[in-house]
Amino acid sequence: MNAILAITVAEFRIALRNRWVAISIAMMAVFSLVLAGAGSAPTGTLGADRLSVTVASLTSLAVYLVPLVALLMSFDAIAGEVERGTLPLMLTYPLGRFEILLGKFIAHLIILSLAVAIGYGLAAGAAIWADPRASAGFPAMFRLFWTSLLLGAAFVAIGYAISAFARRPGAAAGLAIALWLVMIVLYDLGLLAAVVADDGGRFTTDVFPWLLVGNPADAFRLYNLAASDATAAAAGIGAAAHTIPPAHALASILLWPLAGLGLAVLAFRKVTP
């Protein structure tokens, strides 16, 4: 336990010095504030409180931004150690490869939760300042916070797997960006195209919901949408959100961090110093 903590402390300090903590917080804060400002328009028409509307906007933002920040933090985790030549010595210390990963994982999660908490906090503050009824949106905001962390955890873990698989930071960075594009941007477009082509056939009813819930980013969106009518109205895949039980979406975002860590450990075991 002490050994895992030692890795966490060192990793957090490195992220602090490399400005990764500052960059993550700044990214989340700036985008959240922009959304909080832009989110004022639909308030009157929907009749929802200001914070619930902000949560809806933040959900769409988090789907893009949280995985990106998570991958940017994690792609160097193992490839960087290999490149710097720090890995052989580390592996002669009495701790397992899983513990090394876990130590880094905790540090990266702390940074991510700082960034998400500050970003969302600013947006929530702005909503409450503008609308006294906004406290009704607190449960939705809290749900968004912890599901964002799970989403981030999934992509941090996947980032480690990529890092161990690629073994060179350059290749790992490329793979991480490619993965982000495929899973966050192209995946939904592909599914949409498939649904349109299928025109209400077996794919749309039987396969599509599983594919949707199988992607952690979509599961994250579904779970947050399903829990709130206001957000469903504000987002495009509201209909899909009602055909998939929220429990399935929740299971997906709970399982992905574990699956990602499993993959990362398997890939890391294959790295010979």
CB of 18 to other proteins, least distance (A): 6
Instruction: Return the number of other C-beta atoms located less than 10 Å from residue 182's C-beta.
Output: 12
Nearer to other proteins, 3 or 211 (CB): 3
Closest CA to 154 of 252, 24, 20, 9: 252
Q: Helix crossing, 138-166 with 216-226: angle to 10°?
A: 180
Total chain residues near other proteins (CB under 8 A): 24
> How far is the C-alpha of 169 from the C-alpha of 154, rounded, in Å?
20
Closer by beta carbon to other proteins, 83 or else 198: 83
- What is the sign of the dihedral through the CA atoms of 100, 83, 11 and 117? negative
Q: How far is CA 161 from CA 40, 70, 143, 254, 269, in A?
A: 40, 13, 27, 18, 10
Q: How far is the CB of 9 from other proteins (least distance, A)?
A: 7
> Any contact of residue 86 with other proteins (CB under 8 A)?
yes
CA-wise closest residue to 249 among 220, 211, 229: 220
For the chain, what is the total number of helices (H) and then of strands (E)?
16, 0
CB of 14 to other proteins, least distance (A): 5
Asked if 271 interacts with other proteins (CB under 8 A), we say no
> Which burial class, exposed, middle or buried, applies to 119 when counting CB atoms under 10 A from its CB (0-12, 13-18, 19+)?
buried
Q: Which stretch binds other proteins (CB under 8 A): 58-66, 81-89, 178-186, 220-228?
A: 81-89
Q: Which two tokens stand for residue 177?
A: 């960006």
Query: Does 243 help bind other proteins (rule: CB under 8 A)?
Result: no
Choose between 17 and 202: whose C-beta lies nearer to other proteins: 17
Q: Considering only residues 30, 34, 38, 88, which one is a binding residue for other proteins as defined by CB under 8 A?
A: 88
Closer by beta carbon to other proteins, 84 or else 242: 84
Nearer to other proteins, 7 or 116 (CB): 7
By the rule CB under 8 A, 192 interacts with other proteins: no
Site for other proteins in 90-129 (CB under 8 A): 91-96
Closest CB to other proteins among residues 88, 190: 88
Q: Between residue 7 and residue 36, which ones bind other proteins under the rule CB under 8 A? A: 7, 9-10, 13-14, 17-18
Closest by CA to 9, choosing from 149, 104, 113, is 104
Rounded CA gap, 58 and 79, in Å?
32
CA 166 to chain centre: 21
Question: Per CB under 8 A, does 182 bind other proteins?
Answer: no
Smallest Cα–Cα separation from 59: which of 38, 33, 32, 37? 32
Give the nearer residue to other proteins in terms of CB position, either 44 or 85.
85
Asked if 185 touches other proteins (CB under 8 A), the answer is: no
Nearer CB in complex with other proteins: 110/237: 110
The verdict on 273 binding other proteins (CB under 8 A) reads yes
Residues engaged in binding other proteins (CB under 8 A): 2-3, 5-7, 9-10, 13-14, 17-18, 84-86, 88-89, 91-96, 272-273
